[in-house]
């Protein structure tokens, strides 16, 4: 059975500010798993998600996730491929498809929808959904998006 996860969060920030937080290493190192994401924002461009220092110290590879940019429409839509490299068990699963869509609403609030087409791998789906958080695997997309919202709205991430 193929799995697609969809998350929508409303953030009191402009689409451009959220876009910058998703696409620049200066921002991506400040929330979620705090690894720098490097993106060549053009179709066919590279995506490289770096592991943070703590992950590397625990044995994770320096390059935690990778992929390719498929579609870019700043600051409203980004589509890319995404492959988990941190856990060698997930590498053979190959690339998934990740889409960010931003829609500006009223009162300075933007809806951010993240759609991750994972495919048939239940283990990766559990990891990305946050189901394995109590086992030390992190909170997946719910954690990342909650931390992004906190950072953009308050200036502080949820945890150091």
Total Cβ atoms within 10 A of residue 100: 19
| pLDDT value, residue 136 | 53
| pLDDT value, residue 153 | 97
pLDDT at residue 134 is higher than 70: no
Asked if residue 65 lies in contact with residue 84, where contact means CB atoms within 8 angstroms, the answer is: yes
| pLDDT value, residue 62 | 96
Residues present in the chain in total: 160
Tokens 């402009």 -> residue: 14
Asked if residue 116 lies in contact with residue 79, where contact means CB atoms within 8 angstroms, the answer is: no
Per-residue pLDDT, averaged over 53-69, amounts to 94
Per-residue pLDDT, averaged over 52-73, amounts to 94
Domain boundaries, the chain: 3-154
Question: pLDDT band for position 129 (50/70/90)?
Answer: confident
Contacts of 81 (CB under 8 A, 6+ apart): 47, 67, 68, 70, 95, 96, 97, 98
Residue of higher predicted confidence among 143 and 104 = 104
Domain 3-154 annotated CATH 3.40.50.2000 = no
| pLDDT value, residue 137 | 55
């Amino acid at each position: 059975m193929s799995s697609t996860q969809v998350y929508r969060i409303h953030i009191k920030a402009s689409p451009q500010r959220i876009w910058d937080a998703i696409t620049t290493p200066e921002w991506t190192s400040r929330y979620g798993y705090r690894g720098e994401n490097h993106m060549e924002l053009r179709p066919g461009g590279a995506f490289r998600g770096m592991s943070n220092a703590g992950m590397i110290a625990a044995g994770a590879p320096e390059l935690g996730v990778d992929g390719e940019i498929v579609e870019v429409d700043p600051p409203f839509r980004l589509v890319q491929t995404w492959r988990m490299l941190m856990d060698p068990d997930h590498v053979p699963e190959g690339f998934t498809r990740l889409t960010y869509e931003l829609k500006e609403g009223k009162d300075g609030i933007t809806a951010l929808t993240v759609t991750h087409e994972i495919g048939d791998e239940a283990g990766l789906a559990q990891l990305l959904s946050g189901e394995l958080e109590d086992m030390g695997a992190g909170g997946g997309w719910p954690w990342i998006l909650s931390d992004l919202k906190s950072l953009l709205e308050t200036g502080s991430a949820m945890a150091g």
